């Protein structure tokens, strides 16, 4: 990361839904319960092994040690770092290329790696700078980000991932001299290629020894500083926040201040985001209370120094951030839909016969399920989204905004809505997919929930997300479930949500329901 004092924003950033009570450094737990007739197919990212990430850091340290103690631009240690990363990627099926450029009389290199498949007009790019300063080996800055995204790329290969978006990874040269490598890459992209990159994820210093947990403020929810990133940056922020919320780790926003390689991307309107664990800035007492560590000390006391070695890493922070990167790549790339025939599809742009309170047993006094064009509402965090997954309408618990966020939220008990009868074919693999969110404030509890069930000859719960005493902002999530156990039956999809915690604020929504036969 380039030298310049970072202003660490102290205002809580957006906290997003990921409801499933996973704690510590565990991977994100899918919100879908046991599938019917087969394995769950939710976009579930793998747990990135910390040992693998640290093994890459050991290699980068060895490279620096063998090459004058650094991996800086124009020095042999940098080219050796490029060759190491490239060899890992070539071995598992990535298409790699090295882009050379000249700065300050020396040759620099960017490494670009593309995973086969995905929509080439819809590229999700993930990057980190690979160079160090001349003073030291740069293991936290930025071996940590480089090693983490390398292991995520290798996890893509291990999973043989077939994403809907095209996945590209980049390792940048000469960042420490002013973002020279990433700037060269963006400047030399043909206009048509530039428009194909829809989002860029940047990870620079993700293992600081006195770590903080910062997420780039894509929607300017901190209200100060550099302002929001290009449209689409907020989705990146919210997705990253979803992972940290799922493991119970609070985060804070940090501005796009131009210090790292997102800069050239947002300058041309490409949405960006990422995580950061702190550089030379001083951890405050409030931050030490929030995250642990030492108040009054730098997040990284070895920032740009010779002591930024393999011992200058917080394993917990590195592990959490590596898993957050994987979660974000998996979520934003999305799994390609299975080929085959669409049996049922509803985007809720027209009325198709869903019935509210189908059993006549609902107890909610407000916030009944309706098909509607929802109004955006918030109370510190977004509680109801004014945007849907596609089109204008979705299924939502009370679509109006009102004078305050709680005027039309779900209140008083259970609200349910049920699809019309759906006749399923008797053969093939049947996959139900849909988008959803559950939002609530910190007056909620585990008694509040969003649940989706398939009802036929038997009933199966395919989504069961419960509340908690924390703010959880609305953010669309995706689910995909094998329902082949219902083959040959007529089924209905039953959605219900509950506000059962007294005076709690709860909102929920569902969109883009589909069943595909393959």
Which residues are the active-site residues? 175
- In our burial notation (b when 16+ CB lie closer than 10 A, e otherwise), range 482-516 reads bbbbbbebebbbbbbbbbbbeebbbbbbbbbbbbb
Measured between its terminal Cα atoms, the distance across the chain in Å is 47
For residue 146, which of 193, 91, 209, 206 has the smallest C-alpha distance?
A: 206
Q: Cα(229)–Cα(227) distance, rounded to whole angstroms?
A: 7
Q: Cα(444)–Cα(186) distance, rounded to whole angstroms?
A: 45
Q: Side by side, which strands form the sheet with 165-172? A: 95-103, 106-114, 165-172, 119-129, 197-203, 272-276, 214-216, 252-254
**Cβ atoms 28, 45 nearer than 8 A:** yes
Q: The tokens of 57 are what?
A: 């850091």
Q: Give Dmax over CA atoms of the chain in angstroms.
A: 77
For residue 291, which of 381, 218, 209 has the smallest C-alpha distance?
A: 209
How are beta strands 197-203 and 272-276 bridged, if at all? parallel
Q: The tokens of 288 are what?
A: 């030490």
């Amino acid at each position: 990361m380039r030298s310049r004092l970072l202003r660490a924003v102290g205002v809580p950033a957006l906290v997003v839904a990921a409801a499933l009570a996973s704690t510590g450094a565990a991977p994100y737990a899918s919100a879908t319960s046991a599938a019917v007739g087969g394995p769950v197919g939710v976009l579930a990212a793998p747990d990135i092994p910390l040992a693998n990430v640290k093994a890459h850091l050991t290699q980068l340290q060895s490279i620096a040690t063998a090459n004058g103690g650094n991996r800086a631009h124009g020095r042999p240690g940098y080219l050796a770092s490029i060759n190491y990363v490239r060899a890992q990627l070539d071995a598992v099926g990535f298409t790699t290329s090295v882009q050379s450029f000249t700065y300050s009389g020396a040759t620099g290199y960017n490494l670009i790696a593309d995973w086969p498949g995905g929509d080439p007009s819809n590229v999700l790019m993930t990057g980190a700078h690979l160079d160090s300063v001349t003073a030291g080996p740069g293991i936290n800055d930025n071996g940590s980000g480089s090693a983490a995204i390398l292991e995520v790329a290798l996890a893509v290969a291990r999973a043989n991932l077939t994403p809907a978006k095209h996945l590209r990874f980049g390792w940048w040269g000469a960042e420490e001299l002013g973002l020279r490598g990433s700037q060269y890459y963006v400047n030399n992209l043909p206009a048509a290629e530039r428009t194909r990159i829809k989002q860029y994820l940047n990870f620079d210093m993700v293992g600081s020894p006195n770590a903080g947990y910062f997420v780039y403020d894509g929607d300017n929810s901190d209200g100060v500083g550099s302002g929001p990133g290009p449209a689409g940056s907020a989705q990146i922020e919210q997705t990253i926040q979803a992972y940290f919320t799922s493991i119970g780790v609070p985060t804070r926003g940090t501005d796009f201040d131009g210090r790292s390689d997102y800069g050239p991307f947002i300058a041309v309107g490409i949405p960006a985001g990422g995580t950061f664990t702190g550089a030379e800035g001083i951890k405050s007492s409030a931050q030490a209370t929030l995250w642990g560590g030492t108040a009054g000390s730098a997040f990284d006391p070895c920032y740009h120094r010779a002591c930024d070695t393999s011992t200058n890493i917080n394993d917990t922070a590195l592990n959490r951030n590596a898993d957050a990167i994987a979660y974000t790549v998996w979520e934003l790339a999305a799994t390609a839909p299975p080929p085959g025939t669409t049996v049922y599809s509803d985007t809720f742009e027209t009325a198709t016969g869903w019935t509210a309170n189908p059993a006549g047993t609902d107890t909610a006094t407000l916030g009944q399920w309706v098909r509607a064009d929802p109004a955006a509402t918030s109370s510190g965090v977004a509680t109801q989204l004014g945007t849907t997954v596609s089109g204008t309408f979705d299924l939502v618990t009370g679509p109006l905004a009102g004078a305050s966020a709680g005027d039309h939220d779900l209140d008083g008990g259970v609200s349910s809505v049920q699809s019309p009868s759906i006749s399923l074919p008797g053969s093939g693999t049947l996959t139900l997919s849909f988008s959803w969110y559950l939002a609530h404030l910190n007056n909620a509890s585990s008694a509040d929930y969003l649940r989706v069930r398939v009802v036929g000859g038997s009933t199966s719960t395919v989504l069961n997300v419960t509340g908690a005493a924390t703010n959880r902002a609305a953010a669309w999530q995706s689910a995909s479930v094998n329902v082949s156990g219902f083959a040959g039956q007529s089924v209905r999809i039953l959605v219900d949500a509950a506000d059962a915690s007294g005076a709690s604020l709860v909102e929920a929504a569902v969109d883009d329901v589909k069943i595909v036969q393959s």
